[in-house]
């Protein structure tokens, strides 16, 4: 009897979860912010250094007297790790779920934390295999709106978005005009520039549909001076906002969760210039490259240009001997005269 009751309870819970999952969330607000705030979305390939760039950029902006909010929009929830010396920041999604279960409401102090003038938070995401990261982004922004996002008085809001993923949630800032401009972080490698080119394509697509978000430029991280990222920027028509060198001092300090973009540090001029360029760069309409044009930025040996696509045959697929043909499952309808 107990097993039957337990099974019925589990079945009801499963049905309730399915019903909740089937409900489409309302679209995020596209109303303009009530303060003069620059909202900037930063995109790039996973691992390319967005979080490093943003932690140091936001820190330098705050030291220049600006009020800055840094929001991590990556399910890895690691945007704020460098800023907080390696400490994990409670995510909005995790905190919201816990508070909801306890019958409480999320407060600003539950999800937003400060360091030396920088305000920072993480949207978070579902556990691996347990949900859609894009829907998590949408849910996170809904919570921010309930907390009064459009009335906050920041000079800059920096959004850290994963550029590899093309689903709707990660494209929100561009698709819904939620920011004024986009910045891409790339390096002198094909995969990061492929992602940067996709972001440029998305911006171009939505501008044709009446959107206003443009690409303000590219930050070249781990620059080894081979020049592919610089050539990419020139081809698509966006400026290089900064070139951060592939330097052992930067690598070592970042690995120890140290901010390198502090006033008075050896790297301060680099991030001071980046902060000025990010603030002043206008949103542009880029001209994204076709795939072959993107490959042309690299030497042939770097991208396997000597490889020829050889069509496969049915004999290849079947191991050399063709099996007897089977009747097709295709239904052919008589033409109606």
In contact, 59 and 110? CB cutoff 8 Å: no
Q: Which two tokens stand for residue 293?
A: 């044009």
CA dist 217 → 117, 161, 321 (Å): 26, 15, 56
Instruction: Determine whether 45 is an active site residue.
Output: yes
User: What is the spatial order of strands in the sheet that 181-186 belongs to?
Assistant: 113-115, 118-122, 68-73, 156-162, 38-44, 181-186, 214-223, 240-245
Which DSSP symbol is given to 325? Answer: P
Looking at 50, 181, 222, 235, which residue is catalytic? Answer: 50
Q: Is 181 a catalytic residue?
A: no
Q: Which position among 78, 110, 164, 177 bears the catalytic label? A: 164
66, 67, 76, 253: the catalytic one is: 76
- Rounded distance, CA 141 to CA 161, Å? 13
Q: Which long-range contacts (C-beta less than 8 Å, at least 24 apart) are formed by 106-111?
A: 106/143, 106/146, 106/147, 108/147, 111/147
User: What letter would DSSP give residue 120?
Assistant: E
**Chain centroid to CA 120:** 16
Q: Which residue has the tokens 């790297």?
A: 267
Q: Find the catalytic residue in 45, 181, 222, 235.
A: 45
Strand 118-122 relative to strand 156-162: parallel, antiparallel, unpaired? Answer: unpaired
Long-range CB contacts for residues 136-141, cutoff 8 Å, separation at least 24: 136/75, 136/93, 136/169, 137/73, 137/169, 137/170, 137/172, 138/25, 138/28, 138/168, 138/169, 138/172, 139/25, 139/93, 139/96, 140/73, 140/92, 140/93, 141/28, 141/172, 141/178
**Is residue 164 among the annotated active site residues?**
yes
**Residues acting as catalytic residues:** 45, 50, 76, 164
């Amino acid at each position: 009897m107990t097993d039957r009751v337990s099974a019925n309870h589990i079945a009801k819970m499963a049905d309730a979860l399915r019903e909740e999952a089937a409900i489409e969330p309302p679209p995020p607000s596209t109303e303009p912010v009530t303060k003069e705030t620059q909202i900037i979305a930063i995109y790039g390939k996973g691992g390319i250094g967005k979080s490093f760039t943003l932690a140091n950029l936001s820190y330098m902006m705050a030291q220049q007297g600006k009020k800055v909010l840094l929001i991590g929009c990556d399910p890895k929830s690691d945007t704020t790790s460098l800023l907080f010396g390696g400490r994990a920041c409670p995510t909005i999604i995790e905190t919201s779920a816990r508070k909801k279960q306890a019958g409480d409401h999320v407060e600003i102090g539950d999800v937003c934390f400060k360091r030396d003038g920088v305000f920072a938070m993480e949207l978070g995401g579902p556990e691996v295999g347990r949900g859609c990261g894009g829907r998590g982004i949408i849910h996170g922004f809904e919570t921010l709106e309930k907390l009064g996002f459009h009335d906050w008085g920041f000079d800059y809001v920096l959004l850290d978005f994963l550029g590899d993923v093309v689903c709707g949630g990660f494209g929100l800032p561009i698709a819904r005009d939620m920011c004024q401009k986009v910045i891409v972080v790339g390096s002198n490698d094909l995969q990061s520039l492929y992602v940067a080119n996709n972001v440029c394509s998305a911006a171009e697509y939505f501008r044709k549909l009446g959107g206003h978000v443009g690409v303000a430029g590219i930050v070249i991280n781990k620059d080894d001076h081979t020049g592919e990222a610089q050539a990419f920027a020139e081809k698509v028509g966006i400026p290089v906002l900064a070139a951060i060198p592939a330097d052992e001092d930067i690598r070592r300090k970042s690995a120890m969760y140290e901010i390198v973009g502090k006033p008075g540090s050896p790297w301060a001029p680099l991030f001071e210039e980046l902060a000025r360029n990010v603030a002043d760069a206008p949103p542009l309409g880029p001209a994204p490259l076709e795939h072959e044009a993107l490959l042309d930025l690299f030497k042939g040996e770097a991208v396997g240009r000597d490889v020829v696509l050889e069509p496969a045959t049915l004999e290849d697929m079947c191991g050399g001997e063709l099996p007897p043909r089977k009747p097709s499952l295709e239904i052919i309808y008589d033409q109606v005269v």
